[in-house]
Amino acid sequence: MHDNERLAPEPLDLGRLAHELRTPLAAIQSMADALAGGHLGTVGDPRHQSYLVNIRETAQHALAVIDGMMADGGRSAALAHEAPGPVDLGAIAHEVAASLALLAEHAGVRLQVVAENQGASRALARPTEVRQMLINLVSNGITHAGRGASVQIRTDAPRDDGLVAIEIVDDGPGIAEGVLAVLASGRELADTTAAAPRRRLRLGLAVTRALAIANGGRLDLETGRAGTRALLLLPAA
């Protein structure tokens, strides 16, 4: 056996990875439940209570994603065990914004939800997958917009074509058109500059696009000198 063969990494087993991640996440959820429920004493600062709720909800979401990966053997982005149903995009937008608020604060980014026609933006989709798509797009915006920028999550009423839209818009420096095309396609970037952030962005966009298609929708991306706009379109409920 040649040295390069002996040292080559084994293929990533997503099913095993999901199984290994589930136990610590379940522990995090249990601890957050105990603290938020006052079982270990009163939480004094209201912000602490808010953070604990966000930790619990984020852990619950991660567990749902992992359970879907385990049910599907880690082969698909879609969560095979969850049926589509009416999803309030405005409500999920607020949930995602709350869970990523601290990330935005540390990045120096203003994060805001602009929900037009409250309650009217309802999609027919898998709730956990919608939440995952928004987490991917909003966290990408926070990470790449830059300090001092703003990221907005916008919802609106259903469109004439039977789709309902949710937008994630930032006013950062934008992404070069050529880079965006490669990122959106899921292909590797020839340029290795800032490889780790770009790899995370590429993976997030690829997963989000796959989930959008799995839910009967699509993901459109626009970028320029004045920021990036991700338009997630899903069937209206």
Contact between 163 and 233 under an 8 Å Cβ cutoff? The reply is yes
Contact between 180 and 223 under an 8 Å Cβ cutoff? The reply is yes
Average pLDDT over residues 169-192: 65
Tokens for 91, please give them.
């409500």
Of 222 and 113, the one with more pLDDT = 113
Is residue 184 scored above 60 in pLDDT? no
Q: In the prediction, which pLDDT does 50 show?
A: 77
**Residue 63 confidence class, pLDDT cut points 50, 70, 90:** confident
Between the two ends of the chain, the Cα-to-Cα distance in Å is: 58
Average pLDDT over residues 161-175: 90
Contact between 113 and 149 under an 8 Å Cβ cutoff? The reply is no
What residue type is 222 in one-letter code?
E
Question: What are the residue ranges spanned by the domains of the chain?
Answer: 3-71, 85-235
Mapping DSSP to helix (H, G, I), strand (E, B) and coil, where does residue 87 land?
Answer: strand
Contact between 24 and 59 under an 8 Å Cβ cutoff? The reply is no
Residues 119-139: tens digit of each pLDDT = 678 999 999 889 889 988 998
Q: In the prediction, which pLDDT does 69 show?
A: 63
Contact between 74 and 17 under an 8 Å Cβ cutoff? The reply is yes
Torsion of CA 54, 60, 66, 67, to 10 degrees: -170
Residues 26-58: tens digit of each pLDDT = 777 777 777 777 766 676 767 777 777 778 788
CA 4 to CA 69: how far, in whole Å?
Answer: 31
Closest CA to 130 of 121, 120, 118, 117: 121
**Residue 162 confidence class, pLDDT cut points 50, 70, 90:** very high
Taking all residues of the chain, what is their mean pLDDT, rounded to a whole number?
Answer: 77
Of 217 and 28, the one with more pLDDT = 217
Q: In the prediction, which pLDDT does 9 show?
A: 44
Rg (CA), the chain: 19
Is residue 10 scored above 80 in pLDDT? no
Contact between 166 and 93 under an 8 Å Cβ cutoff? The reply is yes
85: which DSSP letter? E
**Residue 17 confidence class, pLDDT cut points 50, 70, 90:** low
110 strand-pairing partners:
150
Average pLDDT over residues 152-177: 88
Is residue 105 scored above 70 in pLDDT? yes
215: which DSSP letter? T
Of 29 and 91, the one with more pLDDT = 91
| Other Cβ atoms within 10 Å of 167 Cβ, number | 19
| Other Cβ atoms within 10 Å of 117 Cβ, number | 11
CATH architecture of the domain formed by 85-235? 2-Layer Sandwich (3.30)
